[in-house]
Amino acid sequence: MTQSTNNEHTDKAGFETRAIHAGFEPDEMTGAVIPPIYATSTYKQDGVGGMRGGYEYSRSANPTRTALEGALAAVEQGERGFAFASGLAAEDTLIRSLTGPGDHAVIPDDAYGGTFRLFDKVAKVWGLDHTPAAVSDVEAMQAAIVPGRTKLVWVETPTNPMLTIGDIEALAAVAHDAGALLVVDNTFASPYLQQPLVLGADVVVHSTTKYVGGHSDVVGGALVVRDLEIADKIAFHQNSMGAVAGPFDAFLTHRGLKTLGVRMDRHCDNAEKVVEFLTGHAKVAEVIYPGLASHAGHEIAARQMKRFGGIVSFRVTGGEQHALDVCARAEVFTLGESLGGVESLIEHPGRMTHASVAGTDLEVPADLIRLSVGIETIEDLLADLDRALA
Ligand SMILES: *Cc1c(COP(=O)(O)O)cnc(C)c1O
């Protein structure tokens, strides 16, 4: 059941090999190459306490989940991975594993809305307070640290929907100087494009609902760590709090993970062509993509990411109404929240994903559109945008 042993043969292999093989050896009895969906809550013991492979009860461990957790650890180059019922369940478990009442966290001033709500409306009531700061500004993140009380410096990079970039190596140094841990929400980049643990982060968070699952058919979350003491705390809380991924969800997520590399390359290919198309378009005022040399975080992104990802944000020339019209007219780009699936999505952050931050410092421009560029035929995506913008 120990995941690092499962990954013995794949520890030094390339990304795709790890994504496909780590975490599971073909089943002893049948030779099945894919981890079965172990739809079982409990396990027969060979005499009291005589557990087979450590399996006792499926909240504590389930082989379908163990396989996914081993693979997640391998693709992030961590020691242990943990799979949860959702990204927010992973975050909640992490917060309660590593902080307590009276502690403090630094969080992105443009954090994913659900993450902000978890800190602001749930963790705060429990006694953990937080200070938002810009992830692109290392000094501001450092200044937000409360010496002795800050336990977590929490960043996303790229952020949503403005695709701001944080320098993971520099932020790790700042957090560690203050005796805090660096947590990186790696959902937008995916482990294929960026591996924060290698750059000094202590914990990686994922909403596996997005690129890791990749097919918009399952909600899930993950944590990956290098340090075994941190891993033990998370393992204890994962079992104590119980927000685990069920075997069916773990199976789907693991199935998605195996093709992450090829999907991400196509997401990036298509996003680059969309950026090129939008950059020259008369109805587009500004294109926001970390791959553009004009993007403030471009150099850091180029250093810490393999490519620049599948999310593209842009502002239109005609104000909010024009942005809403474009969203309404798009056909191949489906109007919807979420991101990271094979299908292209379009959304208006101001009225949709970021409606709750209207009127605050986190408000996003009203003429902003966010695209999750999928892996459809690129000519169809460009024709759709051309029609929608006309
Ligand atoms: C979606 C998302 C989450 C939350 O994950 P759920 O699976 O929806 O609970 C956290 N962080 C980021 C960056 C996300 O996009």
pLDDT score for 187: 98
Banded model confidence at residue 26, pLDDT cuts 50, 70, 90:
very high
Please indicate whether residue 185 is annotated as part of the active site.
yes
Verify whether ligand 1 is closer than 6 Å to residue 35 (CB atom). no
Residue among 305, 312, 338, 115 nearest 218 (CA): 338
Determine the residue of 112, 162, 211 to mutate for testing ligand 1's pocket, defined as the one with the most ligand atoms within 8 A of the Cβ atom: 112
Q: What is the mean pLDDT of residues 332-343?
A: 96
Per cent of the chain over pLDDT 90 is: 91
Secondary-structure class of domain 15-258 per CATH: alpha beta
Write the pLDDT tens digit of every residue in 245-256. Answer: 999 999 999 999
Q: Answer whether residue 5 shows pLDDT above 90.
A: no
Report how far residue 270's alpha carbon sits from residue 348's, in angstroms, rounded to the nearest whole number: 20
Cα-to-centroid distance, 86 and ligand 1 (Å): 8
pLDDT score for 163: 97
Q: List phi, psi (to 5°) of 341.
A: -90, 170
Q: Do 168 and 288 contact (CB within 8 A), yes or no?
A: no
pLDDT score for 150: 98
pLDDT score for 7: 66
Which among 18, 80, 151, 210 is annotated as catalytic?
210
- Does residue 36 have a cis peptide bond before it, meaning omega lies within 30 degrees of 0? no
Cα-to-centroid distance, 188 and ligand 1 (Å): 9
Domain ranges within the chain, ordered by starting residue: 15-258, 262-389
Which among 112, 192, 211, 289 is annotated as catalytic?
112
Q: Answer whether residue 261 shows pLDDT above 50.
A: yes
Q: Answer whether residue 124 shows pLDDT above 90.
A: yes
- Ligand 1 atom nearest to 339, measured from its CA: 15
Q: Answer whether residue 14 shows pLDDT above 90.
A: yes
Banded model confidence at residue 317, pLDDT cuts 50, 70, 90:
very high
Q: Answer whether residue 362 shows pLDDT above 80.
A: no
Per cent of the chain over pLDDT 70 is: 98
Verify whether ligand 1 is closer than 6 Å to residue 330 (CB atom). no
Please indicate whether residue 210 is annotated as part of the active site.
yes
Verify whether ligand 1 is closer than 6 Å to residue 62 (CB atom). no
At the second CATH level, the architecture of 262-389 is Alpha-Beta Complex (3.90)
Please name the residue that has the structure tokens 């963790």: 123
pLDDT score for 363: 86
Q: Answer whether residue 103 shows pLDDT above 90.
A: yes
Q: Do 70 and 77 contact (CB within 8 A), yes or no?
A: no
Which among 103, 109, 185, 384 is annotated as catalytic?
185
Write the pLDDT tens digit of every residue in 208-247. Answer: 999 999 999 999 999 999 999 999 999 999 999 999 999 9
Q: Answer whether residue 76 shows pLDDT above 50.
A: yes
Question: Exposed/middle/buried for 184, CB within 10 Å: 0-12, 13-18, 19+?
Answer: buried
Verify whether ligand 1 is closer than 6 Å to residue 353 (CB atom). no
pLDDT score for 271: 98
Mean pLDDT across the chain, nearest whole number? 95
The whole model's pTM is what?
0.96
Q: Answer whether residue 101 shows pLDDT above 50.
A: yes
Determine the residue of 117, 118, 135, 187 to mutate for testing ligand 1's pocket, defined as the one with the most ligand atoms within 8 A of the Cβ atom: 187
Verify whether ligand 1 is closer than 6 Å to residue 221 (CB atom). yes
Q: What is the mean pLDDT of residues 95-104?
A: 98
pLDDT score for 6: 52
Report how far residue 194's alpha carbon sits from residue 375's, in angstroms, rounded to the nearest whole number: 20
Cα-to-centroid distance, 208 and ligand 1 (Å): 8
pLDDT score for 8: 63
